[in-house]
Structure 1
């Protein structure tokens, strides 16, 4: 077990360093896609304040446009980072050549629907647990073991929420690689879900370490970014009366678009490549044998 944890730790370091090198060495080319993400996120945030008064049909159309734009940019970034990983010595890789096809976009959207259905299915499976917890609570009250029914109910709800969050998180880890199979292997949406389940089987601890490393790096970078921006605003306040709170949303959007999204995409792309290099299973796996 200790050897496995050491191996997982080294895997996290390798993934973080390779993702950092890819992002750092090609950031100015990736920045073009980051700018498109920033425009999409900013426009959707800005329009959210005004779409409440619009017709329902117009709001649906605008929502579809924003979703489609984000999907195209995100898939393009995945494709571009794959090209960078596979052709490290080439300098003529063009973003225009990595635009996703209509088939890939359609498969990604359908796969996202499958992703949502999977999360919903997990929530449905948790309903018996909630029912059992409710029975336990009623039994404890009837036996006089619990006097405060409301407080006990809150505890049960908190436990149920914790179980639900852990289950959803576990499901997320198991099927998070489905977009990469669509781009890399040209898999169908359902096939990409099955491949993600198969390749992540038995790698939960390693993936947990990898995600923990990602969260830690992003927290450190965001803390540094926020301190620098906050310091800048305080220096400006010596000359002008500005309230930083009104710019918090803008700061978050800028940080997410130009730091979080590119590094996270590179991170998952590298993790995907590493896991696929170790995968020895079937090219067309089934779901039943890869759930646990």
Structure 2
């Protein structure tokens, strides 16, 4: 177990350092795509406040346009980082050359539907467990182990939330790599879900280390950023007697889009590449043998 943790820690360090190098050396190109993602999401959120009185057909068309734009920009970002990782020389990589094809966009949308169905299916599977838990707690109340149904209900809610969060988180980590297989390996949507399950099998602890390392770095950077911004706003408010604390959330969103998102995307992409290189499984993996 100790050797495994040492190996995992070294792998996580290597992944983080390579992701940092890619982000640092190509920051402005990656940030440009992240800026487009930020503009797309911000514009769609802003337009949502003004589309309430528009006809349903117009709202549906606008929604489809924003979804399409988000898919194009997001998939371009992934494809661009893939090109950076695969680059053999110092040849320039143009962003226009990383635009996803129509097939990739359609497969990504279908894969997203499969992704949502998988999360929903996990929730359905939890219902029998929660039902059994309810019966156990009712028995505990009848035997006097628990005082009343009020305390039993609180326990049921807390345990149910914990089980649901852990199960959904586990499922999320296992199948979140499906877009990478669609872009990198050109597989079909359902096949991408199966490949994500297969490649993350046996790498779950390493992914937790990667996620933990990223969260730690993000917490440090965000903490420093928040202290600097809040201190600056307090100084401005004190000098000019003008309340601008409402802009803190805007600055935080911009900071996240241009600092956190580029590095996190590179981090997940590098982790994907490492897992694929180490994958020794079948060319057509099945779900049942790769769940656990």
Q: TM-score, normalised by structure 1?
A: 0.95
* Residue deviations 1:194-219 (CA, integer Å, cap 9, x gap): 11111111111111111111111111
In structure 2, the partner of 1:280 is 280
Q: Is the CA contact 2:138–2:152 (under 8 Å) kept in the aligned structure 1?
A: no
In structure 2, the partner of 1:219 is 219
Q: TM-score, normalised by structure 2?
A: 0.95
- Other structure's SS at 2:239 match: coil
- Other structure's SS at 1:145 match: coil
Structure 1 residue 76, shift from structure 2 partner = 0.3
In structure 2, the partner of 1:209 is 209
- Which runs of structure 2 are paired with 1:66-85 in the superposition (5 Å)? 66-85=66-85
Q: Which has the higher contact order (CA 8 A, sep 6+)?
A: 1
Q: Indicate the larger mover: 162-171 or 207-216.
A: 207-216
In structure 1, the partner of 2:65 is 65
In structure 1, the partner of 2:231 is 231
Q: Is the CA contact 1:9–1:209 (under 8 Å) kept in the aligned structure 2?
A: yes
Pairwise CA RMSD of aligned residues?
1.5
- Which runs of structure 2 are paired with 1:99-110 in the superposition (5 Å)? 99-110=99-110
- Which runs of structure 2 are paired with 1:235-254 in the superposition (5 Å)? 235-254=235-254
Structure 1 residue 66, shift from structure 2 partner = 2.1
In structure 2, the partner of 1:133 is 133
Matched, 1:30 2:30: yes
User: How many positions carry a matched residue from both structures?
Assistant: 292
Q: Is the CA contact 1:42–1:253 (under 8 Å) kept in the aligned structure 2?
A: no
Q: Indicate the larger mover: 248-257 or 199-208.
A: 248-257
Query: Where do 5+ consecutive residues of structure 1 fail to align?
Result: none
Query: Where do 5+ consecutive residues of structure 2 fail to align?
Result: none
Distance 1:234 1:270, change over 3 A: same
Matched, 1:167 2:167: yes
Structure 1 residue 224, shift from structure 2 partner = 1.8
- 1: distance between equivalents of 2:57 and 2:240? 43
Structure 1 residue 121, shift from structure 2 partner = 0.5
